[in-house]
Copies of this chain bind each other. A is one copy, B any other.
Amino acid sequence: MFNHFVKQFPQLQKQLDKYAAYYHRIEVPAKTILLREGEISRRAFIIEQGSLRAWFTNKGKDITFQFFFEKEGVSSIESFRRVKPSLYSIETVEPCVVKYIHKKDADMIMKDLENIPEIREQLNDILLDRQLNYMSHFMSLIRDTPKERYLNLIKEKPQIIKRIPQHYIASYLGITAVSLSRIRNAILK
């Protein structure tokens, strides 16, 4: 909920704005961990300014699997909704201004919103969108080579290329930083 598709639904956004008083606003430097892997998420975030990444550790290396930018909502959804330890950390990449809401307030708001059938439908649409989003990522990973995925990223999400350090992008593509550097070199011909 409150995820990065919210911005596509102005009507829903309007509803959420009614609850603006429940949001807290903080400014944090780069590399600030907002949620640590293994902890239970008790806050959901919206980015006002800056960028975040979601990452986890595996065999001593950290692997980034998602990036977030302005106006996007961020939470460890399974941890937030189901009150379980998060499988990953959420950390600022750039210095950020973020707003957050506590779980108890979010739950209350959701109870309100779910009584409005129209809003309910939009929330369902958001859930479906997220699912299709992950599905299409998954399909791309088994279909495309790393070079194709990188070219695709340049076309589809240029802000990632411009604003995110390359070694984070490398793990997002499923390769090493060295390999991504070689791919970039090969693209220049």
Query: A residues within 8 Å of B by Cβ?
Result: 56, 58, 63, 65, 77-78, 81, 87, 114, 120, 124, 127-128, 130-132, 134-135, 137-139, 141-143, 171-174
Contacts and interface: CB of A to CB of B under 8 A. Distances in A.
Contacts of A132: 77-78
A77 B134 contact: no
Interface core residue of A77, A81, A128, A142 (most chain B CB under 10 Å): A142
Q: How many copies does the complex hold?
A: 2
A139 B65 contact: yes
Interface core residue of A58, A120, A131, A137 (most chain B CB under 10 Å): A131
A65 B138 contact: yes
A81 B77 CA distance: 23
9 contacts: A65-B139, A77-B131, A81-B128, A87-B139, A127-B128, A141-B141, A141-B142, A142-B171, A142-B172
Nearest to A56: B139
Given A77-B131, A81-B128, A124-B124, 5 more contacts: A87-B139, A127-B127, A131-B131, A137-B138, A142-B172
A81 B139 CA distance: 20
Contact of A127 (B63, B65, B124): B124
Nearest to A64: B142
A174 B134 contact: no
A88 to B, nearest CB: 8
A122 to B, nearest CB: 13
